[in-house]
Structures are given as structure tokens and as C-alpha cells.
Amino acid sequence: MKMNNVIPFFAVFPLILMGCTQDEVIKEDTSVGGKEKISVTVTQGGAITRISHEDDGANGLILKWTANDAFKLYGTTTEVFTTTGPTDGDGKIATFTGNAVEDAQHAFFPASKAEKRWEDCHFNVIGQVIDANAPFAHLSGYNFMTAQTTASGTEISEISFKHKIAVLKFEVTLPDGIVPKYITLSTQDDAGIAISQKASDESNITTAKQLTAAISGVSSEKFTAYMAILPSTLKEKLALAVTGDDGMVYSYTVSFNGDFPYEAGKVYNSELTFGGIEGGYGTAAIFDNNVIGNTWDQSDNKGSTKDNPYLIESAGHLKYLIEQVEAGERYLDKFFKLTTDIKVTADTWTPIGISSTKPFRGNFDGGGHTISGALKGSFSNDLQNFGFFGYLTTTSSMLIENIHIAANITWSFAYPEGTIITHFGVGGVIGNGPTQEITVHNCTMSGEMKISDGNSNYGNLCIGGIIGHSGAHIQNCSSIGKSDVSCKGSSLWIGGIIGRDGFLSSEYKHCINTSSIILSNPERSNTIYAVSVGGIGGYIAGKVLGCCNQGSITGHSISPVDVGGITGYSEWAKYHLNRNLTTDFNVTSEETVKLGYLIGRINSATIYSCNESVGEQSQWLGSNPAWTPTTDDESAH
């Protein structure tokens, strides 16, 4: 099977999103709240603007203004301008109304992704969920545009929006009967794929080795997917991987002759057929019950530096790593890099690092590759934490990065021998990493987790899409899957990104959760804590910066439950520039529910005024509706 086929990948449709808008300002004699109210009529200016999308098959994406489109205008003050009525017949002209802004300088679209200060505004393309029945709908939240304005007092002379994203259009055919679930772009280019950029100067905030979108509603092996990306230039191979409902990863690898730039305002089209072409695509290495561990190349001082890592090039290499760690080898300060997709079909999965006495202490770069299939396990006295990695710890520092988990995770707790009241963790990437020296960077989880059983007389159970329990620094990670939790423990902490983090020095930056969390009668016995559930974290005590939740939390709890769009229960933490964009929280309990669109329950934590959420401010904290945010600590942003 050939893994590196050079194929004609992109055909460029020019002038699809391109062009700027011309805006006429009409001043009115009315005022609102002491501020002059103005209307801005936005026209297409010779090219098509925003924001409903349709594909006419010839000219690419057609973009139209629609009702409730909104942008934020920045000057001495800031205001949101929203469409006030229907657009013209072809959607190219709309009127936006908002309060006058003195000395207006910048505009940002969409308003839902705008920050309170212009200098904090950024573009971020992680967390995309593509609905096959509405394939353009998600683009509305990622079609970033900005404009510089010229103003004298409250007089705006012109606003010209410019598009800041490109769109990749994939027309994919999988083998017969295989339905796609996720699509992932990955690269080995050191520069990586641009994931987030500053709006002010369009410099990269973060790059990653992979960008993943979930796909829902597909009923056949043929589908068309649209993915928003940020402008960047790739210099090396790019891989497109589609994870099917059979757990297999189907991938093409594309090589470039010279640099390949993605330009804002363009759509790049590709037709890929993964079935019927012998050797036309690569598939994941199979990790089954019969896989035999074999060692990797250890010559030339490999493993000693990030630039010269041990290469995990097969399922056998991964098996050998698991076996060595299980036998007591910790690989302190060693470096590993995965170079192939892996599909796990084994009946049970032994994670890398099984316990505090047999942990993994090395560094691991997933190389943008995907772990698919199923990770299945159950609690024992030897194996109490679960994920791709089970238990991590280090005496120096550790980096886990660029790995995508598209596998379904099934884990059942049990009652351990003796009396154990400690933290047990289950996560898509890491189960338990109880140290502040771990950095988790550019990792994603798009599989489904089902966590069950346990005994309410033992253990703090920590369940997270990325990490169950840790004091790690987590950056640019996303969860776009689903978690169904029905377990019992002394306490339960459940989060889209992290279950529980009680370390004051930990930090979460630019993480996005779009996964759904379902409570299926979880129960706890600890009378101090409730079952705590949050879009980003169940319990967080560190710093949370620039994170966003779009995921739902639903179901029923036997015990009291704290539900928060960002965090279920928070102590001592500091929150900057976070955003919750959903009110889809439908949780009931046989006791009490504390629901906050930002945080369910809070103790000595600080939420700064730079945070935003849907709903009224009185709904942001479930435990204190009279709360008002603290003035921004700008030095900490």
C-alpha cells in the first residue's frame, strides 16, 4: 500500500470570498442610553460578502448577509452593530444598527467571537463541526472579517471588511458502506498549520500539526465537507485523513513543489476517492490482539532530543513502548514521535503508563497522526487510570503534543482492595498526570467516551475529553466528541477538556469544547462536593485564558450537581477572555442543581470583565446571581 501518493490536490476558485465592502453611514436623530444611534448600510462593493453560504457548483461559495449578523466596532468605546431587517433580494446589502462609537478605528466580524478589546481579538479555527445536512452552517462562526475605519468623532466615513479565512472544500468518496465521522489535516512542516492569529497584525498565535473537524449527519460513503482555515504557507507534505465509522483512518499524502500558500478569501477544491484505487490511499496500522512488540531504531543517539526522537513507525513499535513502560522503564527526558495513524482493534487497551509505580516520563509528539478504533478497559488494582496515556509524571518537564484521538473510549470503574481515597483519571489523551510539569499542546479528542460503574464509597473520579486529572498546562486543545457518564465515586469531576485540576499554577489557553456531556445518573457520596460538570473543566484552580465552550451538558444526576459553561466548580482560579456560546444545559437532579453559563459554583476565584457569555450576567454564576465581574487585569491577558 503506497502511503505517499502525489496527486493534484487543490483547484483554486479565485474571487470566491474576496473583495471588500463599502459602507454608507446614515445618522438618525434618535439616541439610546445617552449615545447617538446610527445605522450602517453595508453593500457588496463589487464582490459578494457574507454570511449565509451556498455553493452554485461553478463560482464556488456565494455569501450573503442574513438576519442577526453582527459585528463589533472599536473606538473610545465598543458597540455591537446588528442587522435590523431583511437584506436586499440577493443578500448583498444589509443595514446594521448600533450606538455611535467615538473615534472608531476597527471592526471585527462575527461579534460572537469578538473580544472586549480590539488588541485581544483573534481568529481561531479549532472546534469545527460539519453537519452534512447543513454543510455551510458552521462557516458562519468562522468566517472572520476585519476592517479599519476612518472616523471623526462619531462620523464614520467608511468601513471596508476584508476576509481573513480560506475554505477547503473536500469531495470525498470512501469505500462502500463506510460513513465518515471526522476529517483531519496534518503536516510535518515545522511551521505547522495556523490555528489562531491575532486580528491586529495577523501574526500567528498558535500553529499545530493537525486541524480536525467532526462530521455529522452523513448517510453514505460520499460527502462534501467545507473546512475553514487561516492563511498560511506550507512547505512540506500535507495529509488529509478521514476517520470512518469502521474506525479506520483513510489518508492521502500530498507533496508540493515549492511553497504552497493558502490565501484569505479563496476556496480550495479537491476530489478524493478512497475506494477503488489500488494503493491510492494510506490506511492506519492495525493494533489488534495479535500485534507483536518490536523495538524501534535506537542508533545515533536517538531519543535524546526533540529533533532526534525515537520514531514509532508501526503498531509493533507502539506495542513495544507500552510493554517496556509496563515492565518499569520510564523513559525520563526521552523523546518519541509517532509517524503513522493507528487503529486499535484489540479487545482491551493497555495505556502508556499504567500506575504511579509504572508511569511514563518521556515526551511524545503525535506528529498530527490519529488514534482511531476503540480503547476499552476496566479498573483493577494495577490499572486505575485510563486513556491513550494512563499515568504520567516527571521530575523535570514533559511535552505531549500533536496527537488526535478519534477512538471511542469505554471504561468501567470497580471497587479497589483496601480503602483508597485518591484521584483516578480517565481522559481521551491522558488519564492522570498529577504534576505541574506537563504541557499538553495541540491535542484533540473526537471520539465518544462511555464511563460507568464504580462505588460511591471510594475515590475522586476525574473524567475529561483531553485529561482526566492533572496540573498540566494545556494549550490549543479541543474536544468535539461525546461523553456519557454514569459512574459513582466519592466525588465526580467531568469536563470537556479537563476533569479536575487542583493546581494553582496550571494554565489553560485557547482550548475549545464542542463536545456534548451526558449525565446518566452519576452519584457521589462526599457531602462537601457536588457532581461538577463544565464545558472546559469540572473543577479548575489555575488560570483559564481565551477558552470557549459550545458544547451541551444534559441528563440527570442522583446527587447535587454544579454545571458551568466553562467550569462546574472553581476555587482560586483566574478567568480571562473566556466565552460560553450556548445555553444548551438541561440537567436535572434528585437534589439541587447550580447552573451558571460561565461557572456553576465558585469559591475565591476571580472572573474578570473581559469574559463573555450568552444569557444575562445574573445567569453567569449559578451560586451568585448578584455577582459583578472584576475589572480586567490587563497584564495577565
The more confident residue out of 583 and 162 is: 583
CATH class of the domain comprising 285-636 = mainly beta
Residue 38 pLDDT greater than 60, yes or no: no
Per DSSP, the three-state class of 392 is: strand
Q: With CA atoms as reference, report the closest residue to 555 among 483, 497, 493, 496.
A: 483
Mean pLDDT over residues 148-164, rounded?
73
Q: What is the phi-psi region of residue 406: left when phi exceeds 0, alpha when psi lies from -120 to 50, beta otherwise?
A: alpha
Q: pLDDT tens, 61-89?
A: 777 788 888 999 999 889 999 887 655 56
Residue positions counted in the chain: 637
Domain extents in the chain: 23-116+144-163, 165-277, 285-636
pLDDT digits (tens, 9 = 90+) for 259-305: 888 888 888 877 777 754 444 578 899 999 999 999 999 999 999 99
pLDDT at 364: 98
Instruction: Report domain 165-277's class.
Output: mainly beta
492495525: which residue's cell? 286
Q: What is the pLDDT at residue 158?
A: 64
- 110 upstream amide cis, omega within 30 of 0: yes
Residue 601 has pLDDT above 60, yes or no: yes
pLDDT band per the 50, 70, 90 thresholds, residue 35: very low
| Residue 397 CB neighbours (<10 A) | 12
pLDDT of residue 47: 35
Which range, of 51-65, 67-81, 380-394, 562-576, averages the lowest pLDDT?
Answer: 51-65
Q: With contact defined as beta carbons under 8 Å apart, do 15 and 47 qualify?
A: yes
Q: Minimal CA–CA distance to 446: which of 370, 528, 526, 347?
A: 370
Residue 446: pLDDT over 60: yes
What gap in Å lies between CA 409 and CA 611, rounded to an integer?
33
Instruction: Judge whether 351 and 380 are in contact, CB under 8 Å.
Output: no
Predicted confidence at residue 153, as pLDDT, reads 60
* Average of per-residue pLDDT across 115-140: 91
Helix residue ranges, H only, 232-359: 315-326
Q: Provide the pLDDT for residue 169.
A: 85
User: What are 308's three cell numbers?
Assistant: 532526534
Q: Please report which residue ranges of 214-373 form alpha helices under DSSP H.
A: 315-326
Q: Return the higher-pLDDT residue of 299 and 22.
A: 299
User: Could you tell me which residue, 312 or 18, shows the higher pLDDT?
Assistant: 312
> At residue 580, does pLDDT exceed 90?
yes
Q: Which helix (H) or strand (E) holds 409?
A: strand 408-413
For residue 95, what pLDDT is reported?
78
Residue 139 per-residue DSSP state:
G
DSSP codes of every residue in 8-57: ---EEETTSS-----EEEEEEEEEETTEEEEEEEE--TTS---SEEEE-S
Supply the pTM of this predicted model: 0.89
Least confident of 246-260, 266-280, 307-321, 524-538: 266-280
Q: Which residues contact residue 527 at a Cβ distance below 8 angstroms, ignoring those fewer than 6 apart?
A: none
| Of 95, 85, 77, 110, residue with least CA distance to 38 | 95
Q: Is 141 helix (H, G, I), strand (E, B) or coil?
A: helix
The average pLDDT across 25-43 equals 39
Tell me how far CA of residue 574 lies from CA of 124, 131, 368, 630, in angstroms. 22, 35, 31, 10
Cβ 264 vs Cβ 166: under 8 Å: yes
Q: Do 165-277 and 285-636 have matching folds?
A: no
Mean pLDDT of 362-386: 95
